[in-house]
Amino acid sequence: MNISDKKVQYVIIGAVVGCALIFLILQFVILPALNSWKENSAKAREIRQKTVEMRGLVQSRPVVQKQIGEAKSAIKKMDGNIPLPVLGNYLLGMEEYIRACAGNLGATVVTVADNDVLEISPENSRFKIYRVRVQAKADFSEYIKLVTNIQSNNPLCSISGLNIIARDESPSVHEISFVVAWLVWLDPAKRPAFLIEGKK
């Protein structure tokens, strides 16, 4: 073997070692670093985007607090029209209300009795409908006045059934049976805390 051939051999060995070195550096240094660069950049971008959204929400805090205040005062205002049971009894208060509405009108409230309790939405409503049946005697115009009083004195009180039968012996005075429905809390003990605190 002459010197020139030896040199060529060294060059070839050097080239092979160099290629292997380059491959190793690419495989174990550059590619992992590139992947980590890409991953971290994507994560940072995502977090920055999320942070911008979070900042937007955080900035809305005064508005949300104001809205909560407004909603609470609106509920407090309406809460007076939602009857609460007295020792578990709703009927006493409702009968009193209906008789007060009849007042000096020409309508005679004969009886007020429990009718039924309806669930508005079985899954997630905080309210139910409590209905009482009222038997009364009145002419049609007086009855309309009674209904007007019942519905106008309490915006959450509603006529939900009615049966008027003409009487042959006294055509102007009718036997009237009607159902009055109230919106009541599904569980009065679990109504919003700020309403319970207000009553303490």
Partner 1 sequence: MNLHVNLILESELRSSSRISRNFLVKASAAVAALLFLSLILVVLVGARSAKNAFLFAEQEKKQLDPVYRTVTDLKQELAAIQDVTNAIAAWSQTRPDWPGLLLGIQSAVPANIQLTRLTVNEIISIIDAAPTRVMTLYLQGKASGDHSETDVQELEKSLKEEAPFIGVMEMAQVKLFEAVKNVGQENMRIFDIECRFKTRKLFQPVKVKPKDSK
Residues that bind partner 1 (CB under 8 A): 3-4, 22, 25, 29-30, 33-34, 36-38, 40-41, 43-44, 47-48, 50-51, 54-55, 57-58, 60-61, 64-65, 67-68, 71-72, 74-75, 78, 82, 118-121, 123-127, 129, 140-141, 143-144, 147-148, 151, 155-156, 158-166, 179, 181, 183, 192
Kindly state the smallest distance separating residue 99's Cβ from partner 1, in Å: 19
Tokens of 41: 């950049």
Contacts for 99 with CB less than 8 Å, ≥ 6 apart: 109, 112
Nearer to partner 1, 24 or 113 (CB): 24
Report yes or no: 132 and 184 within 8 Å, Cβ to Cβ. no
State the minimum distance, in angstroms, from the CB of residue 54 to partner 1. 5
Provide the CB-side half-sphere exposure for 104 (13 A, CA): 0
Helices and strands in the chain: count of H runs, count of E runs? 6, 4
Cβ 85 to partner 1 shortest distance, Å: 18
Give the C-alpha separation, 18 to 72, whole Å: 76
Smallest gap, in angstroms, from Cβ of residue 10 to partner 1? 13
Q: Which is nearer to partner 1, 48 or 99 (CB)?
A: 48
Nearer to partner 1, 15 or 92 (CB): 15
Residue 152, amino acid = S
Cβ distance to partner 1 smaller for residue 10 or 140: 140
Burial class of residue 151, CB neighbours in 10 A (0-12, 13-18, 19+): middle
CA 54, 57, 59, 65: dihedral to nearest 10 degrees? Answer: -140
Decide whether 1 or 58 has the Cβ nearer to partner 1.
58
Tell me the closest approach of the beta carbon of residue 30 to partner 1, in angstroms: 5
